[in-house]
Amino acid sequence: MAGSGTAHLRADDDVILRVEHLQVEYPAKAGLKVQAVAGISFDIRKGETLGFVGESGCGKSTTGRAVLQLPSPTAGSVLVQGKDLTKLSSRDMRRERTRLQMIFQDPMSSLNPRRRIRDSIREPLTIWGRDRGDGRQKVDQVLEQVGLDAAVVGDRFPSELSGGQCQRIAIARALIMEPALLICDEPVSALDVSVQAQILNLLEDLKEQYGLSMMFIAHDLAVVKNISDRVAVMYLGKLCEIADAETIAKRPAHPYTRELINAVPVPDPSIRRRSEQKAPAEVPSPLNPPSGCRFRTRCPRAEAVCAAEEPQFHKITDGHYVACHFPLQETPMVRTSAEPVGV
Ligand SMILES: Nc1ncnc2c1ncn2[C@@H]1O[C@H](COP(=O)(O)OP(=O)(O)OP(=O)(O)O)[C@@H](O)[C@H]1O
Ligand SMILES: [Mg+2]
């Protein structure tokens, strides 16, 4: 099947989410289809944060929503603790969705403007029959977890709070359901820079304290790499590289990952990177993606094979996988028994 393979998936009891060959198509004009997600696979372990990074339109949000079956993917499987969500009835899926909470870029839009904060956070408990008279206490507790004083914000309306406070409320509303997985889609992009760091720190603290498993989506690699254990790089509906965050930042193997790193602003403007001197190449349309490797039309290393064959994921080192015919980091040579050890 087309895709970037599954060589990077882990066989592990601790895997919370396992997505295989995920495909999402949207209908487009003239009977065409946009392949927003074109056969990707990944997994997330308990307590792990997997970051998703890539340019606008590469399919990050669609991937996050497809995990929640919003909408159901065109093909592929989404296993949460072994249960395939693509096979559930819509009724069972609604229940399952309570364990998969999502946080969005604009916190205001996820809160009812006419409902007081305390009631907004308590609402999912009530809907799902989990309020056994201790709802108010649970709300106060979860507000404290996100660094807010229930006595101060509990009776207010969203419009009376700042963007950062609203995002904390959205996180509290997700946490109260004790989710197995939290999907954060650009949770800080709409906030002031100073507030961004506070929300990122909060998410990190929650992860440490409660062993939260997270899918963290952002177009900014600098944001993603700090909060993520591993980072998955997406381009035009495909995954091109996956590795731990430090490896992605320091030893990228895919030419596209290097391009993303070079796009991160340099603190000292007198240091100009070479890639900044040329105009960025145009991103091809997902309606008509290039054959073979989708990045080849922008890739300085592309050769004939890149148009002819889609690169599959292969291992560079443990936990570091790349889908590229000519990666920047080569797979280490397998040492033969004749070679001396320790040289
Ligand atoms: N509801 C929809 N109907 C049709 N096409 C859609 C729909 N949602 C997304 N798309 C298309 O699917 C592709 C992937 O979009 P998606 O929103 O997942 O990208 P993204 O990586 O989240 O981008 P951004 O960084 O801008 O949020 C894009 O080409 C987009 O135009
Ligand atoms: Mg998006």
The domains of the chain, with CATH numbers, are: 1-46+55-99+222-343 (3.40.50.300)
What pLDDT does residue 276 have? 43
238 lines ligand 1 (CB under 6 A): no
Model confidence pLDDT, tens digit, residues 152-171: 999 999 999 999 999 999 99
Q: Tell me, in angstroms, the distance from the centre of ligand 1 to residue 124's CA.
A: 28
Q: What are phi and psi of 152, to 5 degrees?
A: -90, -45
Determine which residue's CA is closest to atom 1 belonging to ligand 1: 26
Is the pTM here over 0.95, yes or no?
Answer: no
- State the pLDDT confidence band at 43, using cuts at 50, 70 and 90: very high
Can you give the three-state secondary structure of 24-42, one letter per residue? EEEECHHHCEEEEEEEEEE
61 Cβ closer than 6 Å to some ligand 1 atom: yes
Q: Which helix (H) or strand (E) holds 182?
A: strand 181-185
* pLDDT mean over 10-15: 88
Q: Which of 22, 37, 61, 183 to mutate to test the pocket of ligand 1 (most atoms within 8 A of CB)?
A: 61
pLDDT tens per residue, range 222-277? 899 999 999 999 999 999 999 999 999 999 999 999 999 988 665 655 555 444 44
- Give the model's pLDDT for residue 92: 95
Asked if 92 and 99 count as a contact pair (C-beta separation under 8 A), the reply is: no
Least-confidence region, from 12-16, 136-140, 146-150, 294-298: 12-16
Packing angle, helices 135-145 and 117-127, rounded to 10:
120
User: Cα of 73 to ligand 1 centre, how many Å?
Assistant: 14
Pairwise CA distance, residues 300 & 335, whole Å = 31
**Model confidence pLDDT, tens digit, residues 172-192:** 999 999 999 999 999 999 999
**What's residue 283's pLDDT?**
82
Contacts of 34 (CB under 8 A, 6+ apart): 25, 26, 27, 28, 286, 287
**Alpha-helical regions (H) of the chain:** 60-67, 90-97, 117-127, 135-145, 150-153, 163-175, 193-210, 221-227, 245-250, 255-263, 304-308
